[in-house]
Amino acid sequence: MILMLLVICVMLGACSPAVPPKPSDAPALAGMHTLIHNDDEGLALLPTIPKLSKRGINALVVEVNYNFDWKSRPELAADDGLTLQTAREVAKACRDNGIRIIPAFNCLGHQSWGERTMALLKVYPQLDETPGQYPKNKGIYCRSWCPLNPEVNPIVFDLMDELIDAFQADAFHVGMDEVLIIASDFCPRCKGKDPAELFAKAINDYRAHLVDVNKVEMFMWGDRLINGADPATSYSKWEASFNNTYPAVDLIPKDIIICDWHYKEQESYGSIPYFLSKGFCVWPASCNETAAASALIDYSQSYWSDPQMLGHLFTHWGLTDNQSLAKWPPLVKNFRKLR
């Protein structure tokens, strides 16, 4: 039944207008990914945004997750979370400086970190993929919510809608990276199911709400769609799938933009031509190692003639602050390559 629904979703996606690729002479999509946990971090972005624009940044992915003063789901609101007013100020500053703003919210995985369980599963523990297991999150990397629990999506969709409105955004990043818990034997709904079909169902659910209902573009991390055993990539367990989610790549629409992250220097990055060959727009992403960022950008540029190759996304994951983004070494070293 799941497979039948996935095929229908993919067929519908194939019939809908695809995300238009960039013209061959268009500027690269030069992005910076950052975190906003509260108003202070949001306000710190305001003087930084013009500096990012001068560096050539024209897209800003702001990962908020549960760190928001939710009105649609106040039971999940953070005590000192980002407010609507500050989100609107950040969005306006981005528009005034020619930067596209893309709010981000971790879906499916990354529902815990260390001993801390994130708001959804803390308030609604019955939505966990492993309900009642792993006290204090010992023995796991991160919790996941159950992709088949019918109570999950109505809550998550409210949060997506609120962030889209807060930032007045035309795109949304759903995360989906490093999902290591899926099709768990502890889940009464998912036990025995195909991990790829479950993963694809989750993606297609989010895409239907974002693209079909809200008419915004959908971005996601690509690591779970890469076969970790493929010698053409030679990636770690973090940046590729060893838990059989990767066949989902053929069960999802091609208008989803894949953020293909790789943070270590390699001679080649086989997932880039792989995703391009599958028909996806690809946005490679680097982190703190300047040489690795340069290598990834150089390799990506060998595919620049492909209109589906979008540019580059810089990330920092808390290794700098929002006041210092324009001085981020991988950006300073490489921004001229993206002009």
Secondary structure (3-state) at 274: helix
pLDDT band at residue 338 under the 50/70/90 scheme: confident
CA atoms of 299 and 252, how far apart (whole Å) = 26
**Phi, psi for 173 (deg, rounded to 5):** -105, 120
pLDDT band at residue 87 under the 50/70/90 scheme: very high
pLDDT tens-digit map of 252-270: 999 999 999 999 999 999 9
Q: Of 158, 128, 123, which Cα lies nearest the Cα of 142? A: 128
- Cα–chain center distance at 189: 25
Q: Of 301, 238, 300, 309, which Cα lies nearest the Cα of 270? A: 300
CA atoms of 272 and 218, how far apart (whole Å) = 18
Is the CB of residue 117 less than 8 Å from the CB of residue 143?
yes
Whether this prediction's pTM lies above 0.85 is answered by yes
CATH code that applies to domain 32-43+62-255+265-280 = 3.20.20.80
Is the CB of residue 237 less than 8 Å from the CB of residue 228?
yes
How confident is the model over 239-252, as a mean pLDDT?
97
pLDDT tens-digit map of 187-220: 999 999 999 999 999 999 999 999 999 999 999 9
CA atoms of 256 and 244, how far apart (whole Å) = 20
Tell me what pLDDT residue 339 has: 75
Buried b (16+ CB within 10 A) or exposed e, 241-266: bebbbbbbbebbbbbbbbbbbbbeee
Task: Please name every residue paired with 59 in a beta bridge, in sequence order, or none if there are none.
Answer: 31, 100
pLDDT band at residue 8 under the 50/70/90 scheme: very low
In this structure, the strands spanning 116-117 and 112-113 are antiparallel
How confident is the model over 64-81, as a mean pLDDT?
97
**Phi, psi for 145 (deg, rounded to 5):** -90, 165
pLDDT tens-digit map of 315-334: 999 999 999 999 999 999 99
Q: Of 130, 128, 148, which Cα lies nearest the Cα of 139? A: 130
pLDDT tens-digit map of 137-188: 999 999 999 999 999 999 999 999 999 999 999 999 999 999 999 999 999 9
Sign of CA dihedral 310, 41, 169, 257: positive
What percent of the chain is modeled with pLDDT above 70?
Answer: 92
How confident is the model over 284-292, as a mean pLDDT?
98
The two structure tokens encoding residue 66: 């549960």
pLDDT tens-digit map of 54-67: 999 999 999 999 99
Tell me what pLDDT residue 233 has: 83
Place of tokens 């493929």: 230
Tell me what pLDDT residue 12 has: 42
CA atoms of 172 and 164, how far apart (whole Å) = 7
Is the CB of residue 180 less than 8 Å from the CB of residue 243?
yes
CA atoms of 111 and 149, how far apart (whole Å) = 15
Describe the crossing of helices 152-167 and 84-96 by its angle, rounded to 10 degrees.
50
